[in-house]
Chain A
Amino acid sequence: MASPTPAARTAAASAAASQIEIQSFKFTPATVTVAVGTTVTWVNHDDDAHTVTADDGRLASAGLDHGEQFSYRFTAPGTYAYHCALHPHMTARIIVK
C-alpha cells in the first residue's frame, strides 16, 4: 500500500476526530472540522435524552437515550450549526470542508 498522500492524511485525522461526546449537556468538542464524506458519530453519555438537530433542519436524530448514538455522513461542504431539540441551549457546529 502506498504511503498516504497529504490529503488522505488530513482525511484520516478528521475521521479520527469524528466522534462527538454528549456529556453534561454539552457537545464535545463544540466545533469540529471534517472533510467532505466524513461520518460523524455522536454518543450520549448523559442520563437524560438528547438529540442532534441541525438549526436549519438538514439533519435530525431521534431522541438518544443514555449510551445510544447517532451517525451522519456529511457529503456537502458548509457549516452545520446544530442543537439538542430537547435542550436547545446546547449548541455546536460541524464545519465540512
Chain B
Amino acid sequence: MIDPTRERHDPRDAEGMSRRGFLECMTWVGTGLVWTVAGGVLSSRALAQPATGQGAPGDFRFVQISDSHIGFKGDANPDVLATFHDAIAKINVIDPAPAFVLHTGDLSHTQKPGAFDTVTESLKGVKTGRVFYVPGENDVFADGGKEYLSRYGQGTVGGRGWQSFDYKGVHFIGLVNVLTYKADHLGALGDDQLEWLEKDVAALGSSTPIVVFAHVPLWAVYPQWGWATGDGERALSYLKHFGSVTVLNGHIHQIMQKVEGNITFHTAMSTAWPQPAPGAAPSPGPMKVPAERLRSVLGVRDVTYVQGRSRLAIIDSPLGER
C-alpha cells in the first residue's frame, strides 16, 4: 500500500488547503484520526470508529466500497464473501447511517455465475438509503456489460450504466470507463459519455460541489499497469471550473490521493485483496499478506459533506487492525 507521505510534493497543491483550513478540518471532523499532509493532500485514517457526525440539516455522509470481487478464489483471500460481509458490518455501525453507498466496481470476479446475486443479496443488509453502482472490467468483459446493465443499469443514461443525481446540493456523477478501449489499450469513457458529461454539468453553477465516481482512476496513476483512463483528461476538463470536485475511484485496491487545482482524487481499498504499490512488484494483481494482516489492508470509505466546506471529509477505515 502507498504511504501518502512518499508522494511527490507539488507546490500547486499547497494552495488547495491552507494551514488554517487544515486545522479547521482537524477540529470539525473529530478526534481519533491521524492526519497527514503530503504534497498538500490532506489524508486521514481512523484509529477507532469514524467520528459521529452531529451536522446541520444540509450535511450528510455516504460510503464508498469497491472491488468486492465476489467469486475470487485464491491465496490472497480465501473468503472474499466474509470480508465483504465484514465491510457491510463496518458500514452498519456508522452513526448516523450513510445516506447512500457507492460501489465503485468489480462487484464480481470475472462475472462468475451467481456473483451478482450474492452482491445484491448481501447489500440488502446494509443500513443505507440506496446503493449506486458503476461497473469494473470484471463485471462486463465477458458479455459487454449485458448482465450487469440488466441488473444495475435501471435509471442510468439510456441504460448504459452512467448517471448523475443531486443530493442536498451536491452533484454526483457515476461514470463507466471499462466498456470502451482506446488504441493505447487503456480503458476509456468514450465520446457518447463525454458528450453527455459536458452537457450534464453545463447548467450547474461553478460553486456546486461535484463528486465523480468511476472504477478505473480518472487520473494517470500508473498507465504501465493500466491504472489510468485513456480519455480521463477530457472528462476532467469539463470539471476544472468548479470550486470543489472530488473524484472517487477503485480498481487499484489501495489508497492513493492527489490534488490538482480544485480536483481531489482518491482511490479506495478493496474489500477482497490488496495490490502492490505502482512499480513495487513486477506486475499488479492479488498481493498475499499474512492472514492476520489481511483485514488491515481492506476497508471502506466514509465521506462526510458539510455544507459550506469546499472539501469533503474522507475517512478510510480498514476492516480490522493489524
A residues sitting closer than 8 Å to B (CB atoms) are 24-26, 46-49, 51, 53, 62-63, 65-66, 83, 85-89, 91
Contact = CB atoms under 8 A, between A and B. Distances in A.
B286 A24 contact: no
Interface stretch (B5-13, B119-127, B136-144): B136-144
Contact of B286 (A48, A53, A91): A48
Given A47-B75, A47-B285, A47-B286, A89 B225 contact: yes
Given A86-B138, A89-B186, A46 B283 contact: yes
20 contacts: A24-B282, A46-B285, A47-B74, A47-B75, A47-B76, A47-B285, A48-B284, A49-B138, A63-B111, A63-B138, A63-B141, A65-B74, A86-B137, A86-B141, A87-B137, A87-B226, A88-B181, A89-B186, A89-B225, A89-B226
Interface string B158-193: 000000000000000000000001000111000000
Nearest to A46: B285
Contacts of A83: 185
Contacts of A51: 141
Nearest to A64: B110
B224 interface: yes
Say whether chain B's binding surface is mostly helix, strand, loop, or mixed.
loop
B181 A63 contact: no
Contacts of A25: 225, 283-285
Contacts of A47: 74-76, 285-286, 288
A25 B279 CA distance: 13
Contacts of B73: 65
Contacts of A46: 283, 285
B142 A62 contact: yes
A71 to B, nearest CB: 18
B202 to A, nearest CB: 31
B185 A91 contact: yes
A48 B73 CA distance: 9
Interface in B272-292: 282-286, 288
